[in-house]
Amino acid sequence: MPVLGCVCLRPGLRVDDSWGPRVLWCVVSRCRSEPEGHVPPTTLPALPGVSLPHRLFYRYQDLAPQLVPLSYTSRPDVKVPYELIGSMPELKDNPFRQRIARVFSDDGDGHMTLDNFLDMFSVMSEMAPRDLKAYYAFKIYDFNDDGYICVWDLGQTVTKLTRGELSAEEVSLVCEKVLDEADGDHDGRLSLEDFQNVILRAPDFLSTFHIRI
Amino acid sequence: MMMAKKWAKFLRDFENFKAACIPWENKIKAIESQFGSSVASYFLFLRWMYGVNMVLFILTFSLIMLPEYLWGLPYGSLPRKTVPRAEEASAANFGVLYDFNGLAQYSVLFYGYYDNKRTIGWMNFRLPLSYFLVGIMCIGYSFLVVLKAMTKNIGDDGGGDDNTFNFSWKVFTSWDYLIGNPETADNKFNSITMNFKEAIIEERAAQVEENVHLIRFLRFLANFFVFLTLGGSGYLIFWAVKRSQEFAQQDPDTLGWWEKNEMNMVMSLLGMFCPTLFDLFAELEDYHPLIALKWLLGRIFALLLGNLYVFILALMDEINNKIEEEKLVKANITLWEANMIKAYNASLSGNSTGPPFFVHPADVPRGPCWETMVGQEFVRLTVSDVLTTYVTILIGDFLRACFVRFCNYCWCWDLEYGYPSYTEFDISGNVLALIFNQGMIWMGSFFAPSLPGINILRLHTSMYFQCWAVMCCNVPEARVFKASRSNNFYLGMLLLILFLSTMPVLYMIVSLPPSFDCGPFSGKNRMFEVIGETLEHDFPSWMAKILRQLSNPGLVIAVVLVMALTIYYLNATAKGQKAANLDLKKKMKQLQLLVASSFQSYAGGPEVLLTLRFKTNDFCKGQEHKHCEVTVPLFSP
């Protein structure tokens, strides 16, 4: 898909400069457009004094030190496989980690480049705007990637949330209720608008859909 | 071009620096990943309060305490700055200092030390004016900062739809992405499953005919008990304050530790144990846990508020006593002065030149100082509150955890799963305690400029201590019911407390005469006269005339009317814009459907975006008088 200058244009939503964590967008564009700049390999990433984008780069590099080079001047095409991403402490207990990795990866297979990695953490950060988070939440819960959350997607979500402890009948009752409540255009599935309508009013959404790194 | 790049880089680095300066990020992250976002919200609130208190501390320290320390007359030069002769022997004892008497009382920490000279030092720093203005500025700043935080959160507040999206919210927002710990994740899974099961049961259950009368009677009974408890606690505090007045008349050496600290201990203990009583009474009521939580919070709020106001009433009683006492003391002092002058003249009659008339400041009889007394009471209350909290955490959480952990091997039943097990972190209790402590700081800081400093110390140590206690002794809650939709519930309470705390202070400033013998306003009829005095002396006379005209009641009423009209107009405009916004969204959706339906057989290929360009910027962000754009995705592959 065409990427115009800034990573954030991928979903087709137009974003102006005041959106999103500026720091991360700038770092990403740095990786693309400034051939003379590269992320300087300095000290350990655990220090709080190191800036956020540097810290994220070092976390990425730590996942696969043999694979990821310390210098991105030559614009290497490196992807860290999903197994390593899914074992990060921030993600390993999350039932949706596979969906998250797939949504943010280029080919939908869960293997992430540095850009994907930065995207993921910037959308999940505190500073990302509500609309952007709602958009990505929709994609995460859309298990079959058809652009709509249908009954099967809902069933998958509920099963993952309860680790299979609800009976099939209870799961289908829940899915029915959700469609009752949220399906605005009555087509038996949730479109992005329906989803946004529900989620943007939820009081807990911003505080739970957040990963701190 | 290079300059623009360098400037952008500088701004970026500055943003990074600002983000790195935020304290305790790692601690809060650790708590978040283990306990989830609701427990962490308490620590975020604590950190925010620390920031507010830091600003108050900087204001009071740099504009009141430091100038007096640097340029004011030193200790021992004036009667008000010296420990009286009678108390000198014990002035440096730890017991006396702990009570904030003795040397601690006659220092920059309290109101009574400050001199009433109009200017001090070589810079002609106007201390009484600064004292008054800093007091008002602290209140104003606190209001601003709380309101700003509330308006920032207003967008987050859902708008009150509690049941419309019940299941949808459960499905899409119940997982807490911050969790990074397997045990917490387990708990979360269990709580989500239980939540779903309960909701399903509620959904399926028919209307069960319960015994309505029994339930109503039980609820009435529970409320009656609660009322009794509130009344009882109010009476207990009043009685304790009266007793402390009696103790104040007695010789301090005959009193034990309990008698000296009785009132503060009573207030802190009541605040600690009555909520447990309320919990007990709530068992009778049999409400849904969320509603029961709201009732509990309301009752604890009423309890703490009642306690605070009874305390203030008792204080007002004492203040009035002191003001009465002042008249007597004034008469005594004039007598004493007359006697001293007679004695001096008598000693002088022998030789024509003699030693100059000098009385050591410690020997001069002293007038009562109600402002310092008020300041001392608040400082003592704060200190005892802190100690009670820490001791309760140590005993209630830490010792209990140790007991459960180590005695489990040799106990009949499983201590960890049955009673007593580990404590859960009580979010609402802690937040309420924090809010009320802040209320006391706001009330007392006009009379004891050191109070924000003491509070800073307290919040700093609280952060570390409570972080340690939470990670070491508490377990994540099995069921989480959030009392507040957004943080606005607690911020709203904070705003209410701020308002209720500043009322007594403003009343005291406006209607009580300052003590004649201590403080920066001594000798004046009312504290706010310092403003009038400054206008007369320091500003040209035409400005004083103008300001006097401006405070004309007719003009003030007109200004208030204009402000009310402006508020109404802005409100109406905002409503109109919201409606127009909704209208536009509907139109775009219709257009989208229309175009999308004609592309139904289109599969694959590039995205199609529709860009709408507006002539004005009423509907989107953009520069003034230039068009702005909104892009709508019409079709995505």
The pLDDT, as a whole number, for residue A24 is: 40
Q: Is A209 on the interface with B (CB under 8 A)?
A: yes
Contact A212 B196 (CB under 8 A): no
DSSP letter (8 states) at residue A149: B
State chain A's mean pLDDT as an integer.
Answer: 76
pLDDT tens sequence across B219-245: 888 889 999 999 998 888 888 877 877
pLDDT over threshold 50, residue A143: yes
Q: Please, which pLDDT band fits residue B256 given cuts at 50, 70 and 90?
A: confident
Provide the shortest C-alpha distance from residue B636 to chain A (in Å).
Answer: 8
Asked which of B259-273, B460-474, B586-600, B620-634 is least confident by mean pLDDT, the reply is: B620-634
Q: With contacts defined as CB-CB under 8 Å, which chain A residues touch B1?
A: none
Provide the shortest C-alpha distance from residue A69 to chain B (in Å).
Answer: 24
For chain B, give the percent of residues with pLDDT over 90.
19
The pLDDT, as a whole number, for residue B456 is: 95
Q: Is B602 on the interface with A (CB under 8 A)?
A: no
Q: Is B540 on the interface with A (CB under 8 A)?
A: no
Topology (CATH level 3) of domain A51-124: Recoverin; domain 1 (1.10.238)
Smallest Cβ distance to A201: which of B12, B158, B193?
Answer: B158
- Three-state DSSP at B566 gives helix
pLDDT over threshold 60, residue B601: no
pLDDT tens sequence across B318-369: 888 888 888 888 888 888 888 888 888 887 776 656 667 777 877 788 888 8
The pLDDT, as a whole number, for residue A2 is: 28
The pLDDT, as a whole number, for residue B139 is: 93
Contact A208 B621 (CB under 8 A): no
For chain B, give the percent of residues with pLDDT over 70.
88
Contact B196 A170 (CB under 8 A): yes
The pLDDT, as a whole number, for residue B361 is: 78
The answer as to whether B191 is a domain residue is: yes
Q: Please, which pLDDT band fits residue B268 given cuts at 50, 70 and 90?
A: confident
Smallest Cβ distance to A12: which of B13, B184, B636?
Answer: B636
pLDDT over threshold 90, residue B461: yes
CA pair distance B410, B403, nearest whole angstrom: 11
Contact A173 B200 (CB under 8 A): yes
Q: Is B185 on the interface with A (CB under 8 A)?
A: yes
Provide the shortest C-alpha distance from residue B128 to chain A (in Å).
Answer: 43
Contact B196 A174 (CB under 8 A): yes
pLDDT over threshold 90, residue A25: no
Q: Can you tell me the ipTM of this complex? A: 0.76
Average pLDDT estimate for B513-531: 86
Q: Please, which pLDDT band fits residue B634 given cuts at 50, 70 and 90?
A: low
Q: With contacts defined as CB-CB under 8 Å, which chain B residues touch A177?
A: 166-167, 203
Amino acid residing at A203:
P
Q: With contacts defined as CB-CB under 8 Å, which chain B residues touch A92?
A: 180
The answer as to whether B484 is a domain residue is: yes
Into how many domains does chain B fold?
A: 1
CA pair distance B381, B265, nearest whole angstrom: 8
The answer as to whether B623 is a domain residue is: no
CA pair distance B293, B299, nearest whole angstrom: 10
Show which of residues 101-160 on chain A sit within 8 Å of chain B, judged by CB atoms.
124, 137, 141, 147, 154, 157-158
Token pair of B397 as six digits: 């959480």
Residues of chain A with CATH 1.10.238.10: 51-124, 130-208
CA–CA–CA angle B306, B308, B310 (5° rounding): 65
Strands B474-475 and B628-635: unpaired
Contact A173 B168 (CB under 8 A): no
The pLDDT, as a whole number, for residue B482 is: 57
The pLDDT, as a whole number, for residue B478 is: 60
Q: With contacts defined as CB-CB under 8 Å, which chain A residues touch B26?
A: 48
Provide the shortest C-alpha distance from residue B571 to chain A (in Å).
Answer: 22
Q: Identify from B38, B171, B635 which residue to disrupt to test chain A contact, counting A C-beta atoms within 10 A and taking the largest count.
A: B171
Distance of CA B208 to the CA centre of its chain: 45
pLDDT over threshold 80, residue A44: no
CA pair distance B1, B6, nearest whole angstrom: 9
pLDDT over threshold 80, residue B464: yes
Q: Please, which pLDDT band fits residue B479 given cuts at 50, 70 and 90?
A: low
Higher pLDDT, B383 or B598: B383
Average pLDDT estimate for B308-323: 85
CA pair distance B628, B620, nearest whole angstrom: 7
pLDDT over threshold 50, residue A32: no
CA pair distance A68, B440, nearest whole angstrom: 56
pLDDT over threshold 80, residue A39: no
Q: At what angle do helices B451-473 and B427-444 cross, to 10 degrees?
A: 170
pLDDT over threshold 60, residue B381: yes
Q: With contacts defined as CB-CB under 8 Å, which chain A residues touch B172?
A: 137, 141, 157, 195, 198-199, 202, 205
pLDDT over threshold 80, residue A136: yes
Nearest chain B Cα to A176, which residue? B167
Q: Identify from A87, A93, A103 which residue to disrupt to test chain B contact, counting B C-beta atoms within 10 A and taking the largest count.
A: A93
Amino acid residing at B407:
C
Q: Is A44 on the interface with B (CB under 8 A)?
A: no
- Decide: B594 and B581 in contact? Cβ < 8 Å: no
Give start and end residues of each alpha helix (H) in B250-369: 257-285, 289-348
Q: Is A206 on the interface with B (CB under 8 A)?
A: yes
Token pair of B541 as six digits: 């006379």
- Domain range for residue B185? 1-210+286-520
Contact A162 B177 (CB under 8 A): no
The pLDDT, as a whole number, for residue B453 is: 93
- Decide: B495 and B147 in contact? Cβ < 8 Å: yes
The pLDDT, as a whole number, for residue A47 is: 45
The answer as to whether B276 is a domain residue is: no
Smallest Cβ distance to A26: which of B12, B621, B636?
Answer: B12
Phi, psi of B610 (to 5 degrees): -110, 125
Token pair of A81 as six digits: 């496989």
Closest CA to B588 of B632, B535, B536, B526: B632
Q: Is A167 on the interface with B (CB under 8 A)?
A: no
The pLDDT, as a whole number, for residue B47 is: 93
- Decide: A57 and A40 in contact? Cβ < 8 Å: no
The answer as to whether B75 is a domain residue is: yes
Contact A161 B189 (CB under 8 A): yes
Q: Is B485 on the interface with A (CB under 8 A)?
A: yes
Q: Is B176 on the interface with A (CB under 8 A)?
A: yes
The pLDDT, as a whole number, for residue B562 is: 95
Contact A198 B169 (CB under 8 A): yes
CA pair distance B98, B82, nearest whole angstrom: 18
Average pLDDT estimate for A26-51: 39
Average pLDDT estimate for B280-287: 81
The pLDDT, as a whole number, for residue B573 is: 94
Provide the shortest C-alpha distance from residue A137 to chain B (in Å).
Answer: 8
Q: Please, which pLDDT band fits residue B53 given cuts at 50, 70 and 90?
A: very high
CA pair distance B462, B399, nearest whole angstrom: 18
| Distant-in-sequence, close-in-space partners of B252: CB < 8 Å, separation ≥ 6 | B260
Question: Hunting for tokens 């008002």 — which residue is that?
Answer: B136
A61, A75, A114 from A72: Cα distances, Å: 11, 5, 10
Contact A147 B41 (CB under 8 A): no
- Decide: B169 and B574 in contact? Cβ < 8 Å: no
Average pLDDT estimate for A167-194: 87
Q: Is A212 on the interface with B (CB under 8 A)?
A: yes
A207, B154, B484, B489, B572 from B157: Cα distances, Å: 12, 5, 10, 10, 21
Alpha-carbon Rg of chain A, whole angstroms?
A: 19
A26, A65, B205, B398, B475 from B4: Cα distances, Å: 14, 36, 67, 56, 52
Smallest Cβ distance to B178: which of A181, A182, A212?
Answer: A212
The answer as to whether B188 is a domain residue is: yes
Higher pLDDT, B354 or A101: A101
pLDDT over threshold 70, residue A11: no
pLDDT over threshold 80, residue A149: yes
Contact A202 B158 (CB under 8 A): yes
- Three-state DSSP at B609 gives strand
pLDDT tens sequence across B153-176: 776 554 444 567 888 888 998 898
pLDDT tens sequence across B3-26: 999 999 999 888 888 877 888 888
- Three-state DSSP at B586 gives helix
pLDDT over threshold 80, residue B631: no
Q: Calculate the dihedral angle through the C-alpha atoms of B462, B467, B472, B478, rounding to the nearest 10 degrees.
A: 110
Q: With contacts defined as CB-CB under 8 Å, which chain A residues touch B196?
A: 158, 161-162, 166, 170, 174
Burial class from Cβ neighbours inside 10 Å (0-12, 13-18, 19+) for residue B178 reads: buried
Q: Is A172 on the interface with B (CB under 8 A)?
A: no
Q: Is A2 on the interface with B (CB under 8 A)?
A: yes
- Three-state DSSP at B58 gives helix
A64, A185, B337 from B344: Cα distances, Å: 93, 101, 10
How crowded is residue B127: how many other Cβ atoms within 10 Å of its Cβ? 23
Question: How many residues are listed for chain A in this entry?
Answer: 213
Q: Thinking of the domain A130-208, which architecture would CATH place it in?
A: Orthogonal Bundle (1.10)
Token pair of B258 as six digits: 């309990």
Provide the shortest C-alpha distance from residue B279 to chain A (in Å).
Answer: 26
Q: Identify from A10, A13, A201 which residue to disrupt to test chain B contact, counting B C-beta atoms within 10 A and taking the largest count.
A: A201
Contact A51 B19 (CB under 8 A): yes
Element (H, E) at A208: helix A205-208
pLDDT over threshold 60, residue A43: no
pLDDT over threshold 60, residue B618: no
Average pLDDT estimate for A191-195: 88
Bond from prior residue into B84 cis (ω within 30 degrees of 0): no
The pLDDT, as a whole number, for residue B144 is: 94
The pLDDT, as a whole number, for residue B158 is: 45
CA pair distance B314, B373, nearest whole angstrom: 13
Q: Please, which pLDDT band fits residue B289 given cuts at 50, 70 and 90?
A: low
pLDDT over threshold 60, residue B48: yes
Asked which of A37-51, B148-162, B199-213, B589-603 is least confident by mean pLDDT, the reply is: A37-51
Q: Is B609 on the interface with A (CB under 8 A)?
A: yes
For A24-92, the DSSP string reads HHHHHHHHHH-TT------S-TT-TTS-HHHHHHHHHHHH-TTTS-S--TT-----B-HHHHHTSTTTT
The answer as to whether B556 is a domain residue is: no
Higher pLDDT, B46 or B546: B46
Q: Please, which pLDDT band fits residue A19 given cuts at 50, 70 and 90?
A: very low
* Contacts across the A-B interface (CB distance below 8 Å): 154
Furthest-apart CA atoms within chain A: distance in Å: 60
Sign of CA dihedral B487, B493, B495, B497: negative
State chain B's mean pLDDT as an integer.
Answer: 82
Q: Is B197 on the interface with A (CB under 8 A)?
A: yes
